[in-house]
Amino acid sequence: MNNHVRELRGEQNWSQADLAERLEVSRQTVNAIETGKYDPSLPLAFKIAQLFGRPIESIFVPGEE
């Protein structure tokens, strides 16, 4: 799965640590999501979408597996 988390985080001028704190996850989790090494759980994906005020499907898009 591909995502736009890094771009959205950059628009807010947040560090990975800033985003992690807002999502109540580790900075390493944010890094893994951004680099595509980890697909977030559905509750975490909803939390990310809510935080950025966007629909989930505009943040997470299917990619080649």
Residue 60 banded pLDDT, cuts 50, 70, 90:
very high
pLDDT of 25: 98
pLDDT of residue 64: 59
Three-class SS state of 31: helix
What CA–CA distance (Å, rounded) separates 31 from 19?
10
Residue 63 clears pLDDT 90, i.e. is over it: no
Average pLDDT value for the chain: 95
- For residue 39, give every residue at least 6 positions away whose Cβ sits within 8 Å of its Cβ, in sequence order, or none: 1, 33, 60
**Angstrom distance (rounded) from CA 12 to CA 4:** 13
Q: Model's pTM, two decimal places?
A: 0.92
